[in-house]
Amino acid sequence: MAQIKGLDSNIYWPDKTKQQQPIKQDAKVNKPETGPVAAPSDNKKLDQKDFFSLLTQQLAYQDPSKPVDNAHMISQMSSFQTSDGIAQLTKEFKGLNNLMTSSKALQASTLVGRSVLVPLDHGMNEGKGFSGVAVAGKGAKNVHVSIKDAAGEVIKTMNLGDGHGNMKFNWDGKDKTGKAAPEGKYKIEVTGKQGAKNVQLAAATFGHVSSVSLSHKGAEGIKLNLAGLGGFNMKDVLEVGEG
């Protein structure tokens, strides 16, 4: 018989004496865990770092024959940076607004116990009358200030003469006969003459700051509470008195 030359003795021949064992029916098979899967968190948001990481992956795996359009990529980057910048700016403005509110509240609190001049045609008599100004503007002649009670009756009239701008007056709390008027709120009526016409002029009065009210509106919501006269914004204050 002819011999086969060049036969590789390292060729592996399976041992037929070892038969493949059948898998037993009761064999245990590892099964994947089927427990509950945690839902992805809705609170996770992409930040600027995540965006550039995804962009790098996109560029690494892009089709060389169809590269990412430069204009589109720049548009995406600009859009993200603008959004991120606006969010940061909003945060900084919120902090600035809180700081301004605190500053305004502190400033307003220093006025408690003092008197402030506000544009109002009423005054509060707490036993000693009140003071204020008649607004004559560019000028008025024969300016009179009348103090009226709750019934509309004039209990005192003061002649301020001629003047312009803010003409100060002071009511001592007494009526025409020199008797002390009851405490309470009184109306201020200012009249004068401009040219040939008799006109009614605006008035402003001093009120006593009893407290300060804060609001969720921030600095704009801060109000000075004037005893018997109501609340006024800081911007309404024309002058600050001693008390």
User: What does the pLDDT read at residue 13?
Assistant: 46
| Confidence class for position 224, pLDDT limits 50, 70, 90 | very high
pLDDT-derived band at 241 (thresholds 50, 70, 90) equals: confident
pLDDT value at 41 more than 70: no
CB 108 within 8 A of CB 211: no
pTM: 0.59
**How confident is the model at residue 131, as a pLDDT?**
96
In this model, does residue 154 exceed pLDDT 70?
A: yes
CATH architecture of 115-240: Sandwich (2.60)
> How many Å apart are CA 54 and CA 73, to the nearest integer?
12
- Is the confidence at residue 218, as pLDDT, over 70? no
Residue (of 144, 135, 151) closest to 184 by Cα position: 151
Nearest to 202 by CA among 122, 142, 128: 122
Q: Which of 162, 120, 116, 110 is nearest to 139 (CA)?
A: 162
Residue 158 has pLDDT above 80, yes or no: yes
Domain range summary for the chain, segments of one domain joined by +: 115-240
- Residue 95 has a pLDDT of 61
In degrees, rounded to 5, the angle at the alpha carbon of residue 37 between the alpha carbons of residues 36 and 41 is 130
69-126 tens-digit pLDDT: 656 666 666 666 666 667 666 766 666 566 666 777 778 888 899 999 999 999 999 9
